[in-house]
Amino acid sequence: MSIKKTTILFYLQKNKINKRKECTLKCRITFQKKRKEFSTGLFINPDYWNSKKQKAFIPDDNEYTNNQLSLIKNKLNEAFLFLQVNEKSFDVNDIYNQFKGVKRAFDRTILEVFELHNSRMQKLVGKSYVRDTHYKFEVAKRHIANFISKNYKRKDFPLQKLNMKFILDFEYYLKSELNQKQITVNKYIQRLRKIIRVAMIEGWLDKDPFLQHKAGKVKRNIVYLIPEELNNLENYKFAQKRLQ
C-alpha cells in the first residue's frame, strides 16, 4: 500500500516588496503533485530569511516569526493526518480547507441546507414569497429535525448519506407519529425535495436520492353537490372545500 505524503514549504514572494523592503512570506502545500499556495500573513526582509533552514534570522525578533511558522506547519500536519484517518480520498485543497476550518462540500448536512434555504426565503417574504410559505418550510425543517433525533439519535444528518430509506422512513414517521394524511405527507416530501435541489445546485450533493421516489396516491372522496348549494358565492366556496 502506498503511503500518502505531503510537503510544506515557506518561501518569499520577492516580486512584491513593500515600503519597509519586506516581502510576503508564503506557504506552499504539495500533495500528489498538486500545489496549494497561500499567504502566512507574515512579512520579512529577504536578508533575514534562510530558505534552506526554513527559518527567519531577524535581529531581536526571531522568536515570533519562527513560532508562527511552526504553528502553521503543525496545524497543516494535523489537518493532513485528520483527512488520512477520516477520508478515503482527498486533495491538496481539502488539506488547506481542513487547516482553515472550512467544511468540505460533502460534509454538509440536511438541516444546514434547510437553514440556508429558509433564511434566503425569509428575506424575500413580501417580494417573491408570502409569509405562510416561509412558515411551512420552517415547520418542515422542524419535522425533519425531530425525525432525525428520534430515528437516528443525532442532531443532524449528512447529505451524502441520504437515500430512499431515509425518505420512506420520514413518510412513515409523518403518518405514524404525526397522524398526517397522505396529501399532507406529499407536501412535506415536496418541500424536502426542494431542499435537496438546493444542495445539488450548491454542489454539496452528487446524486439525487429522489430519483426512484413516487408520491403516495391520495384517495379523494366523491361529493355530490345539491344544485341549491351553488346559488351564491359563499355556498360555492363551501362546496369547493368539501371537494378537497
pTM of the model: 0.56
More confident residue, 61 or 211: 211
Examine residue 236 and state whether it is found in any structural domain, yes or no.
no
Rounded percentage of the chain residues whose pLDDT exceeds 70:
86
CATH number of 207's domain = 1.10.150
Asked if 50 and 133 sit in the same domain, the reply is: no
The domain tally of the chain equals 2
Q: Report CA torsion sign: 125, 131, 133, 136.
A: positive
Cα separation, 163 vs 173, in Å, equals 16
pLDDT for 76-129, tens place per residue?
999 999 888 876 678 898 899 889 887 666 678 999 999 999 999 999 999 999
Question: What would the pLDDT profile of 214-226 be if each residue is shown by its tens digit?
Answer: 888 887 665 555 5
Crossing angle between the packed helical segments 182-201 and 110-123, to the nearest 10 degrees: 90
Tens digit of each residue's pLDDT (9 = 90 or more) over 17-63: 888 889 999 999 999 999 999 999 999 999 999 999 999 998 877 68
Q: Are residues 122 and 202 in the same domain?
A: yes
Same structural domain, 134 and 182: yes
Within-domain flag for 38: yes
Per the structure, the complete domain to which residue 36 belongs is given by 6-102
Give CA angle at 175 (174, 176), nearest 5°: 100
